[in-house]
Structure 1
Amino acid sequence: MNILMVCTGNICRSPTAEGVLRHHLQAQGLADRVAVDSAGTHGYHIGDPPDPRTIRTALQYGVDLRPLRARQVEAADFERFDLLLAMDDGHYRALQKLQLQNPSGQRNTGNIRYYLDFAAKAGLRELPDPYYGGNDGFERVFRLCEAATEGLLAHIRQHM
């Protein structure tokens, strides 16, 4: 299974989601069976590492995001990934629009989902953007990613 996490610039939410999932897949011996990546709907930060606050927060929990680099989502990602997970409504709509440019002509949007749909107890559909706030926002995003990863792992196991 191949999973792509998607946010705006690929420096806060989606790299956190990618790192948390990779961390848990490794711990559960599933890393060789599931490919995980992240991308942004916009090319603001292509080639940049995650935001320093994102890196610092993740490291506090033993998740190292330092090797990650931002990239922009592209139409070919619909061929490469089984599941594209949007962090908010804007990302969801951008993915739907981009899918129309898919080289294979595939129009099934069933592989586009909201990331927090896997965190039923969170009571949220959109993962809040911590970029313009303080450190507490990055902490909240990390905790929500942990909750979503729990549900996502159950989904992965069910579809393997």
Structure 2
Amino acid sequence: MFNQVLIVCIGNICRSPTAEHLLRQATQGTEIQCSSAGLSALVGQPLEANALATLVQHGQQPVSHRARQLTPKLLKDAELVLVMERKHLRDIHKQSPESRGKTFLLGKWQLDREIPDPYRQGTAAFEHAYALIDEAVTTWSRYLRSIR
């Protein structure tokens, strides 16, 4: 079973904290613990304003977030690692070859769909990323609940 899920993007201020929040909501009442980190995190920064606004627009109330850097310990402790893009898979496999069997695209169940980075773009880019993340998280949460 996957009780420790780590979600990774680049800065850990847009996509991965959005996915972390949505997956945490979708798996409430289970033992699944969700966290996030960035390959090149903007350490200590809060959720990006447009990402926060998008979550709120969709009725979400995310908890306080501070970006953190992906570390070997975070990778080791995670039982499942979900990333946004294929290059994130490559970077993690290079950094931690032993993570290969537990690292997947968040969009795996949507034909290995990548989720583009909305950072420094307009509202439409954040809405698009949110929609893709929400769909992927919904599918992952169903899968994670089904294997319990």
Q: TM-score, normalised by structure 1?
A: 0.85
2-side partners of 1:124 and 1:92: how far apart? 12
From 3, 20, 23, the equivalent of 1:21 is: 23
**How big is the shift at 1:93?**
1.1
Q: Which runs of 5+ in 2 are unaligned?
A: none
Q: Would you identify which runs of 4 or more consecutive aligned residues in structure 1 move more than 6 Å?
A: none
Mapped contact 1:49–1:66 kept (Cα < 8 A): no
1-side partners of 2:99 and 2:22: how far apart? 27
Q: Name the CA shift for 1:108/1:145 in 2 (closer, same or farther; >3 Å).
A: closer
1:114 and 2:105 aligned: yes
**How big is the shift at 1:110?**
1.0
**How big is the shift at 1:79?**
2.2
Deviates more, 1:86-95 or 1:46-55: 86-95
1-side partners of 2:45 and 2:99: how far apart? 31
- The percentage of counterpart residues that share the same residue type is 33
The equivalent of 2:14 in structure 1 is 12
Deviations 1:106-141 (A, max 9, x none): x251101001113x2xx5621011013210111111
Give the number of equivalent residue pairs.
Answer: 146
Q: TM-score, normalised by structure 2?
A: 0.91
Q: CA RMSD in A?
A: 1.5
1:151 and 2:136 aligned: no
The AA in structure 2 aligned to 1:76 is K
Q: Which runs of 5+ in 1 are unaligned?
A: 101-106
1-side partners of 2:102 and 2:80: how far apart? 5
**How big is the shift at 1:60?**
1.3
Mapped contact 1:23–1:63 kept (Cα < 8 A): no
Mapped contact 1:12–1:130 kept (Cα < 8 A): yes
Q: How does 1:1-160 map to 2 (within 5 A)?
A: 1-26=3-28, 29-30=29-30, 33-43=31-41, 45-100=42-97, 107=98, 109-118=100-109, 120=110, 125-160=113-148
The AA in structure 2 aligned to 1:114 is L
Q: Name the CA shift for 1:108/1:20 in 2 (closer, same or farther; >3 Å).
A: closer
